[in-house]
A and B are shown apart, each in its own frame.
Chain A
């Protein structure tokens, strides 16, 4: 018997434990749309950037991403660019939840729009870094979108 909540799972049997987590997450995600893709063209630092994201799950204003990690420490995703970008891609979403599984425990980190930097600020900082490191040419050459 497993608790259908976040928390600890029976670690006596590893495969069953992973299955228990999957069942638990399944309860939480029942009815959600999964693998939802979105794109948005934005201007950033004079470049046309195509933001692309595939949300693991979306339901009722929540974007949910599943992470399987070997080791977890709370705040792991605090500075990730994923939730700021996804909240930009789905402006109608109100929060982003990471559901994290380390093999024996399930954790959750939640970020709301007001909790994180704008993806524009993060993107600008990245482009400034590329400029400073003289890598802008490499970036624009290697990451240019293929023409259809």
Chain B
């Protein structure tokens, strides 16, 4: 189903988030502050979360057990799925992956290929089919890159590289001056992903006993509000863009010779433009000129046939490269 921008609704928008950080920094507690969560405790770390902040928890020794939990009413009722951690999920998948393919049982690369596909499938199911927020927690590892030490997601195989593409948000949790922060803007030290106006560094509040753990619930609401505001601001620009592209494309398609292309170009230049309509239509005019064997003559201020242009002037117009390299 194709919808116009003004027909899109993000009221039920679900978020996909990567939450990374060193062990013990408080990632699980932050993840549990998302709306109505279910925790897949894959690294047996829920015992380190304060009892009052714990929620429904799935604990399994096998990946088959985890898949079975996806069929339970508790899972179906949850709004947010927390995979804690992505690295532990990959480890849990290994015996399962070896059973899927004889080659995977003896070849590590084949096994990690299967895991990568299954990781992608599982997160796709949670996000797009079961329509839940998904938070994937990762420990981090430090990597020396030139003079800088950067942190990367700690996870065997290359499943860690596919989690960022569908993620709306990705953050690095760290402690500075005794306070905990989530960094959403990439830096030289860590990778992150900001979206919907959630960027920079956000301080994670210290939770007093009895205090509601709802930091990510409020963050998701803020992101939704930003998304709505952005949509409302973007809609008029998109309308202008669509009108310019429709009218401009028609004019260019109708151009049959130098004169009509010149008129089309002048009309398009005078149009109201938004976003990249001017650049896109400019390229279309250039392509049309090539198709009609025309070239823009600066001196005459009009399109002329390439046949009537001196050879040394050809190639000086659109697309010719001037730089020395």
Contact = CB atoms under 8 A, between A and B. Distances in A.
Contacts of A11: 113
A72 B280 CA distance: 30
Interface string B50-73: 000000000000000000000000
Nearest to B150: A75
Interface in A124-148: 142-146, 148
A48 interface: no
Contacts of A144: 324
A78 B191 contact: yes
Contact of B324 (A33, A72, A107, A146): A146
Which of the four size classes fits the interface of chain B?
35 or more
Interface of B is mostly: loop
B324 A143 contact: yes
A144 to B, nearest CB: 6
A73 B116 CA distance: 14
B323 interface: yes
Nearest to A141: B324
A74 B275 contact: no
> Which of the listed residues A59, A60, A92 has the most CB atoms from chain B within 10 Å of its own CB?
A60
Contacts of B113: 11, 104
A72 B159 CA distance: 11
B226 to A, nearest CB: 13
Contacts of B163: 74
A143 B324 CA distance: 6
B117 A8 contact: yes
A59 B186 contact: no
A50 B323 CA distance: 8
B325 A72 contact: no
Interface in B228-261: 237-238, 241
Given A143-B325, A145-B322, A145-B324, A33 B191 contact: no
Given A115-B194, A145-B323, A94 B124 contact: no
Contact of A146 (B273, B275, B278, B322): B322
Contact of A58 (B166, B237, B280, B316): B280
A41 B274 CA distance: 23
Contacts of B209: none
Contacts of B301: none
A33 B165 contact: no
Contacts of B275: 60-61, 92-94
A75 B273 CA distance: 33
Nearest to B287: A33
B206 interface: no
Interface of B: 113, 116-117, 120, 124, 152, 160-166, 185-186, 188, 191, 194, 199, 237-238, 241, 273-276, 278-280, 282-284, 316, 318-319, 321-325
21 contacts: A7-B165, A8-B117, A33-B279, A34-B283, A36-B279, A50-B323, A52-B321, A52-B322, A58-B276, A58-B279, A60-B276, A75-B186, A79-B188, A92-B275, A92-B279, A93-B276, A108-B165, A109-B164, A109-B165, A144-B324, A146-B323
The 10 closest A-B pairs by CB, nearest first: A61-B275, A33-B280, A75-B191, A74-B164, A33-B283, A36-B283, A58-B276, A107-B165, A74-B161, A108-B165
Given A107-B164, A148-B322, 9 more contacts: A7-B162, A34-B283, A36-B280, A50-B323, A52-B321, A61-B237, A75-B164, A115-B185, A142-B324
